[in-house]
A and B are shown apart, each in its own frame.
Chain A
Amino acid sequence: MEQINPTRMELIKKNAQIKLAEQGRDLLREKMDALIREFFHIMETVSMSRDQLEKLSNAAQHSLLIAMAIDDPVTLKSASFATRQGITLDIKGKNIMGVPVPIIEKRRFVKSLFERGYSILGVSGRIDETAEKFEAELDLIISLAETETALRRVGNEIQMTRRRVNALEQILIPELRRQAKYIEITIDERDREDLYRLKKVKKIIERKKKKTETAGSYA
């Protein structure tokens, strides 16, 4: 145990620290509950989107397989030259109980027939269908990126808050209580010693007094 001054002032300080730590623990617990509620809410969205993404991905892969088989992969790659371009996304942020989470700008990547950059006269509907399905998949992946990042960050914050609550509950508050108890015991001990000492002094004084009185009567 660290060096503690077993004084009443120190005891008052320790009790104030215990109260503050308990208040902090309660607040952190409330935050954790709110975060867990938010976590499950996001989790539901993520789980639904994941299922949807899996279905969409399977459909896109099937379309790609058919397009590659019938139209030849080189035709497909040639069409991809026409549509190849970068994607710019605007990302903002918001706070969920103090946790910063990203908000990705909602943009539709599904393009219309004439927006893909190639002439429809020379590209088959199979390639179109494949492009359309992968564009829809991209839409979903981007929205999933937003919710999954939020989920991961909220999850990390829950873990961190739980660690803080545990640290307060298991280490800091018991330690402060132990210190307060130690101070109390020490002060009580000291009080008892003082009382004993006083009683002893009183007894000595009384004994001396008695001796003096006895000596006076003999004289």
Chain B
Amino acid sequence: MEYAYVNSRIRAMKSRLLDRRQLDQLINKHDIDALITELEKTPYREELERAGVQYSGVTRIEYALRKDLVRAFRNLLSFTSGEEEENLLAITLNRYDVQNIKTILRGKRIHATPGEILDCTIPAGELDEAALTELVKQPDVKSVIDLLATWGIVYSRPLTKAFKEYSDTRDMLVLEYAIDTYYYQYALATLKGGETEDHRVIRDMVITEIDISNLRTVFRVLRDQIDREDAKRYLLEGSSELGLATLLSMMKGGTLEGALKHLEHTSYQFLTQVPPEYVSAQKISAFEKELDRYLVRKGIGYFIGDPLSIAYAIAYTWAKYAEVTNIRVIARCLVSEVPEKDLREALISV
């Protein structure tokens, strides 16, 4: 693939991302209308104008942010369309497909209206808005899975396998766990054997996501004092740094403090710096915030990776995600009149 051309396009998209000064200007706004006016001076103007027809206030901003994110990611996919790299980039964006499929299955189980379900989807992955609209039109969970299988979507495989157990137990957890696990298994299987820089970058990010998912599971299991054997099935395999043995020994200690000791001398050592009051209060969200920041930092760090690889596109996806999240945090905090210090603390990356 012609990375020189693709990365030039992405570089142009990156130049439209908000810089620190613009973010500060947004933080300094006193109300939501002022924030919208400020955002209208940025590339979000177009989506904000469209969103303004249906929504107002913070909902307008959030709707516009979602649409802009979807447009940006769809553009990325279109740059690599028909190339082998499209599959690699799709691995990163497929997490939106997995989330959308889960949303549709959840909605179908409780007989939510198609409109209600569709409002909760973010068509930033391979399944576009038309595909999602067709999926939400299906009458039940089984039909959704069948339609995915008909279209040849890989995520129908774990769902088809787990459907019998689901129909016996009516427990949505069965389907969700199957598709979540399969997402990582499929990503690693696709990357297996690939030795290019592109494969290395994507594999590195997928493994980091696996580590973070496992750490979150371990922390939550420890906080809720859940049986280690029950929790074991929710751990994902694939990481060499934090393998199953390490994760199980973290859980064996039974305390967060004990688990954190296992992270010394690993890439996740920064978690040992979380203030002790959060550790003693078992505030998992404090750890999660640090992990999210680490993931975003690592993703954005690929901007200085090989310029003739997929690294630049990956970095852009994380930078865009961070920007959208930060603007949403600012908007929500402004509406709730959160002090500036707490607002800055809540930002995903600074």
**Bound pair (A, B):** yes
Q: Which residues of A contact B (CB under 8 A)?
A: 63, 65-66, 68-70, 72-75, 77-78, 81-82, 84, 112-114, 117-122, 124-126, 128-129
Q: Does B216 lie within 8 Å of A75, measured CB to CB? A: no
| Contact A118 B106, beta carbon cutoff 8 Å | yes
Q: Looking at the complex, which one of B110, B213, B234 makes contact with A81 (CB distance below 8 Å)?
A: B110
Partner of B346, one of A69, A82, A122, A124: A69
- Are A84 and B177 in contact, with the CB atoms below 8 A? no
CB distance from B297 to the nearest CB of A (A): 15
A129 vs chain B, min Cβ distance (A) = 5
Complex alpha-carbon distance, A114 and B289, angstroms: 22
With A120-B217, A120-B234, A122-B98 in contact, is A70–B325 under 8 Å at CB?
yes
Quick one: closest B residue to A65, CB to CB? B336
CB < 8 Å neighbour of B288 from A68, A112, A125: A125
Q: Taking each of B107, B176, B213, which has the highest tally of chain A beta carbons within 10 Å of its own beta carbon?
A: B176
For A68, give its contact among B98, B179, B332 (CB under 8 Å). Answer: B332
Contact residues of B with A, CB < 8 Å? Answer: 62, 66, 98-99, 102-103, 106-107, 109-110, 112, 117, 119-122, 171-173, 176-177, 179-181, 213, 216-217, 219-221, 224, 226, 230, 234, 236, 283-285, 287-289, 292, 325, 328-329, 331-333, 336, 338, 346, 348
Q: Which residues from B are CB-within-8-Å of A122?
A: 98-99, 102, 176, 180
A113 contacts B226, C-beta separation under 8 Å: yes
Contacts of A77 in B (CB 8 A): 119-120
Contact of A74 among B66, B172, B230 (CB under 8 A): B66
Q: Which residues of A contact B119 (CB under 8 A)?
A: 74, 77
In the assembled complex, how far is the CB of residue A135 from the closest CB belonging to chain B, in whole angstroms?
A: 13
Q: What 4 additional pairs, Cβ within 8 angstroms, besides A78-B102, A117-B173, A126-B288?
A: A65-B336, A78-B106, A78-B107, A114-B173
Take A113-B220, A125-B288, A128-B220 as given contacts and tell me if A69 and B333 are in contact as well, using a CB distance cutoff of 8 Å: yes
In the complex the two chains form, is A81's CB within 8 Å of B107's CB?
A: yes
Task: Verify B230–A114 contact, CB threshold 8 A.
Answer: yes
With a cutoff of 8 Å between Cβ atoms, the chain A residues found around residue B181 in the complex are 121
Closest B residue by C-beta to A130: B285
Given A118-B106, A125-B219, the answer on whether A74 and B226 have CB atoms closer than 8 Å is no
CB distance from B324 to the nearest CB of A (A): 9
Please give the distance in Å from B45's CB to the nearest CB on chain A: 21
Q: Which residues of A contact B98 (CB under 8 A)?
A: 122
CB distance from B137 to the nearest CB of A (A): 17
A126 B103 Cβ-Cβ under 8 A: no
A134 to B322, alpha carbons, bound, how many Å?
Answer: 28
A-B contact pairs, 6 of them (CB 8 A): A65-B336, A73-B62, A117-B106, A119-B180, A119-B234, A124-B216
Instruction: Given the known inter-chain contacts A69-B328, A78-B120, A81-B107, please indicate yes or no for A121 contacting B217, CB distance below 8 A.
Output: yes
Give the docked Cα–Cα distance between A65 and B333 (Å): 8
Chain B residues with Cβ below 8 Å from A66 are 285, 346
* Chain A residues within an 8 Å CB radius of B109: 81-82
CA distance A77 to B103 in the complex (A): 9
Selected contact of B328 from candidates A72, A112, A119, CB within 8 Å: A72
Q: Are B112 and A81 in contact (CB under 8 A)?
A: yes
For the complex, give the distance between the alpha carbons of A84 and B328 in Å: 25
Q: Is the CB of B99 within 8 A of A81?
A: no
Complex formed: what's the CA distance from A65 to B236 in Å? 30
